[in-house]
Amino acid sequence: MTSGSAHGGDGTTTVSVHGLGYVGLPTAALFANNGCTVYGIDTQPDKLETLRTEGADFRESELNDYVDRVLGTDALRLRERPVQSDYHLVCVPTPFDHERGAADLSYVRAAAEGIAPKLRPGDTVIVESTVPPGTTANVVGETLERNGDLLRETFNLAFCPETVLPGSILDELRGNDRIVGGIDGEATAAARDLFADAVDGDIHTAPDAATAEFAKLAQNTHRDANIAIANELAKVARDHGVVPRPAFDLANEHPRVDLLHPGPGVGGHCLPVDPLYLGQHSDHVQLIEHARAVNDGMVEYVQELLGDALGSLAGKRVAVFGLAYKGNVADTRNSPARRFVETLAEPTAKVATDGGESAVDVRVHDPHVTDAAVDLWSESAALAGADALVFMTDHDEFTGLDPEAVVERMDDNVVVDARGLTDESWHEAGLDVRRL
């Protein structure tokens, strides 16, 4: 692979990846495994030292091997400070600041400030971090000009978002289509050429960077809104005495209807956050905001189902199965299951009784999560003496549970199924199942 600016000493393209986190490190390995000389830039020396001594620590063995294959070699060189490169990829966090109602772009600005003095004419800067429309051209472009010696027209600037899914990061990194949009045609072409040689998916070019930024946000907003309509319909169905999922299956018999399954909300890094970026410079986000409120409110709705089934939460022992935000992964970022547990266990969840206050005894079991901020229990210990079992994550391990064995371990018989894991055999075993 060769670069349009051809600054690699031996003709090899040089790529700096700024931010070696969940996306940045696999991205650095992607280009290092495809013939580039890659510099992995991260301002946290402890992280770099851990990578040098212990290697990658993803919960995907194939991804760990893929990263470790190039770590410590000339193909992937770890650095604390930026270096000159043909390409600079910005893969830093962009958390949403709920107090300001805006994306926190401080990490993006800091990365651009570090890149600026190292830029040469013809170099290309590509933002991969999820950002509000206009960020690449305005925030990043202006920061590069203000902190460097080059005018905008002398270097390339583009946006190319990632779309990886926990549990399938390597497959999606290599196989997914990409959207690329630059501030001009030359920048778009430069970014397209880099990714075209490294990924198997198609490269779709946008007319400009803002369109590419908007497209990424639109993808996740569409998913969030579709989940929200399923969740709202599930609540309406219960108001009419209708069990939601069988009704949805019937509705989906129509060739132009594709209702998703309801659930306890959405989690991960993208869906709970990305739609909010669209409201920074627009007043026309009513449906988007409502979808966010519906999905965020599902945690409270699941707690309502639990309270209705038990009659009272006072002093109850509740087994919560699942802390990750989705099945078969260990990722708890923005997890509705984690929020559910925190809400039940916090002091405000204590229920007044004649004898004072009695806290809910919450026992969490998750076979995938190991670094939770809450105590984790084994399956048998969590169920022992439980008044209720709540399914908050659809791990494969939960689908094989024997309802007869479950009811024998529990003191009461309440099951709240927020993930559609139970069937009629659970009712037949004598369990009072409330399903979303």
Question: What are the tens digits of pLDDT across the range 264-280?
Answer: 999 998 899 999 999 98
- Are 310 and 317 a contacting pair, CB within 8 Å? no
Half-sphere exposure (CA, 13 Å, Cβ side) for 50?
10
Q: What CATH number should be reported for the domain holding residue 92?
A: 3.40.50.720
What average pLDDT does the chain have? 92
CB atoms under 10 Å from CB of 194, counted, come to 28
Give the model's confidence band at 127: pLDDT under 50 very low, under 70 low, under 90 confident, else very high.
very high
**Are 235 and 200 found together in one domain?**
no
**Are 279 and 386 found together in one domain?**
no
**Are 49 and 35 found together in one domain?**
yes
**Are 338 and 390 found together in one domain?**
yes
For residue 38, the SS3 value is strand
386 Cα distance to chain centroid: 32
**Are 73 and 110 found together in one domain?**
yes
**Are 257 and 338 found together in one domain?**
no
Q: What CATH number should be reported for the domain holding residue 229?
A: 1.10.1040.10
**CA 213/CA 280 separation, integer angstroms:** 13
Residue at a domain's end among 242, 272, 296: 296
- 351-353 and 356-358 as β-strands: parallel, antiparallel, unpaired? antiparallel
Mean pLDDT of 6-34: 88
Residue at a domain's end among 278, 296, 314: 296
User: Residue 355 domain-assigned?
Assistant: yes
Give the model's confidence band at 346: pLDDT under 50 very low, under 70 low, under 90 confident, else very high.
low
**CA 181/CA 204 separation, integer angstroms:** 9
Selection from 138, 134, 93, 143 nearest residue 281 by Cα = 134
pLDDT at 351: 39
**Are 200 and 54 found together in one domain?**
yes
**Are 403 and 416 found together in one domain?**
yes
Active site residues per annotation:
216, 270
- Are 377 and 385 a contacting pair, CB within 8 Å? no
Among 166-170, 198-202, 203-207, 246-250, the range scoring the smallest mean pLDDT is 166-170
**Are 102 and 201 found together in one domain?**
yes
Our count of domains for the chain comes to 3
Domain range spanning residue 240? Answer: 218-296
Per-residue pLDDT for 85 more than 80?
A: yes
